[in-house]
Amino acid sequence: MTGTAQWTAGSTKDSGAAKLTAKVTGENKAEFDFSNGTRIESQSAIGDSRSCTWSGKDGVPHDVSLPNCWTATIWFLPHLALQSTGVPSAINAQNIASDEQSPRIRHQLAIASDSRSPAVADLYTKIQTWSRTDLALDPATYLPSTLKYMIHPDDNSFADIKVEVRFSKYQNVSGVELPMHIERYVNGSLQLSIDIDSATIN
């Protein structure tokens, strides 16, 4: 998906071209060509050796801290986790709706540890918690409307920072409904707004 994006960090605002790519395996990349430099966020496919990086205007890749690398669904296209085929077996889905009018699906990773080491078992349990995402579906269309999950400061994996992504202005692209407007909020403040101009499905 390609389009334009606006980035807000406190009183600083920037805008530029956006390119978002995603695969059903969980591999994804978000590239933003802002006026003050390019920003890239990427995650490899879901698996035991998953890696996540980000780079800023200096172009140097930085590793994303482990607690922020395991989100079970792709933040700009959680639709892929709803597919019936191709989704990694490690992703578990659970209906958490309180009533039929508000469909909500929780995704999280369930990576079984065959190690007898308590430390390793504890890490796998943490990964399940870190990976949790809650996806709300529009009750009329059953298309994703909001995605909620937590990120954490690099120096404190126990501190939660709320992230909410909102999806709107759906259009049919090659038989698939895709959101043409995406907003990402961090702790209730709009951080990123993306307007999609075109999309290609392979």
**Sequence ranges of the domains in the chain:** 2-198
- Each residue's pLDDT tens digit, 122-173: 777 788 888 999 999 998 999 999 999 999 988 887 889 999 999 999 999 9
- Each residue's pLDDT tens digit, 61-86: 999 988 899 898 999 999 888 876 76
Distances (CA, A) of 142 to 29, 72, 108, 137, 187: 25, 20, 20, 5, 26
Residue with more model confidence, 111 or 173:
173
Fold of 2-198: outer membrane lipoprotein receptor (LolB), chain A (2.50.20)
Give the C-alpha separation, 177 to 199, whole Å: 11
Dihedral in degrees, nearest 10, Cα atoms 140, 141, 144, 145 = -40
pLDDT in the model for residue 109: 84
Q: pTM of this prediction?
A: 0.88
Length of the chain measured in residues: 202
Residue with more model confidence, 13 or 123:
13
Q: Do 177 and 170 contact (CB within 8 A), yes or no? A: yes
